[in-house]
Amino acid sequence: MDHRLIFKGEAMSYQTILFDQEAAVATITFNRPDKLNALNQEMLAEFRDALDRVSRDPEVRVLLLTGAGRAFIAGADIQVFLDFDPLAARAFARSAHETGFKLEALEIPVIACVNGFALGGGLEMAMACDFIYAADTARLGQPEINLGFIPGFGGTQRLSRLVGKGAAKEMILTGRMLDAGEAKTLGLVAQVFPTDTFREECRKVARALAAKGRVSLRAAKQAIDRGFDQDLRNACLLEVDAFALCFASPDAHEGARAFLEKRQPKFL
Ligand code: COA
């Protein structure tokens, strides 16, 4: 399948993903539905290219990731593992890690909209987003152990940071799949929506985020991300600077004034 799109005057031709933009909300859809959107090198490269384009476009204020058909991503494409030696495995994992870091480095909010299976590399990509929404029929897990190896796209690290060491070990060592409700109880998923209205619920949140102040959204995201691995005192100092930075934008005064004048704020 060939999806030709014009994006900011540049022709994009992707085989494995779809890109669309509705006002300030961009959506990247993983699109190999007959293979449950299994990730291969081509999809990783196209995904990185789309992320670069999003990062260069000041009009995009929120990014959604989702999958076509029954899956978000059902893992790395198992076909590719047949020919792997350690060097090829390392190169594949390194390129997936670079993709995860690129995703995490975006300054705008990124929501993983997990519409179906998010397994292996799929869950690992979702965990590199700011938060995860799941349809009530979604299934999430790190089943690599059942194939004789381990998560290699960041799962051993991001999952333990998100749900704690014990719960991460239980998931990774057993390889079992969680339903959306259990994933929410663990704190892996932020919210669960009914499958029928899932895409619209995600877009509704995305539109609400797009109407908030850019500077405050960025400051909040960076304060949490940069402070996460620091001791509390240094992390709080980072927060102080991020808080102060918000007042360099007219948004902070506009937000306070709008509240006092009992009207909706108009942010930049
Ligand atoms: N890599 C390659 N192909 C995959 C895939 C993957 N990770 N996940 C699914 N597919 C393919 C299947 O081989 C099948 O292809 P085919 O129709 O050409 O035979 C197609 O996608 C549909 O999958 P199928 O297994 O028939 O669907 P299902 O509803 O019976 O089961 C899953 C769904 C997700 C439980 C099952 O596909 C599965 O376990 N996938 C692998 C998950 C995994 O181990 N991921 C980590 C990889 S590192």
**For the segment 51-65, what is each residue's pLDDT rounded down to a tens digit?**
999 999 999 999 999
As a whole number of angstroms, the distance between CA 142 and CA 168 comes to 9
Q: Is the CB of 78 under 6 A from ligand 1?
A: yes
The stretch 163-178 carries a mean pLDDT of 98
- The tokens of 259 are what? 């509240």
Ligand 1 pocket: which of 36, 40, 92 to mutate (most atoms within 8 A of CB): 36
143 Cβ inside 6 Å of ligand 1 = yes
For position 12, what pLDDT does the model report?
66
**Ligand 1 center from residue 78 Cα (angstroms):** 8
Spatial separation of the C-alpha atoms in residues 109 and 214, rounded to whole Å: 10
The Cα 13–Cα 146 span in angstroms is: 35
* Least-confidence region, from 2-16, 30-44, 87-101, 130-144: 2-16
The CA distance from 254 to 268, in Å, is 10
Which of 98, 124, 239, 261 is catalytic? The answer is 124
Q: Whose CA is nearest to atom 26 of ligand 1?
A: 35
Q: Is the entire prediction scored with pTM above 0.85?
A: yes
Confidence of residue 13 (pLDDT cuts 50, 70, 90): confident
Average pLDDT estimate for 3-22: 71
Burial of 83 (0-12, 13-18, 19+ CB in 10 A): exposed
Residue 180 to residues 18, 21, 78, 191, 257, Cα–Cα distance (Å)? 25, 27, 24, 9, 40
The answer to whether residue 193 scores a pLDDT higher than 90 is: yes
Using one digit for the tens of pLDDT, what is the confidence trace for 198-244? 999 999 999 999 999 999 999 999 999 999 999 999 999 999 999 99
Nearest CA to ligand 1 atom 34: 74
**Residue 144 among the catalytic residues:** yes
74 lines ligand 1 (CB under 6 A): yes
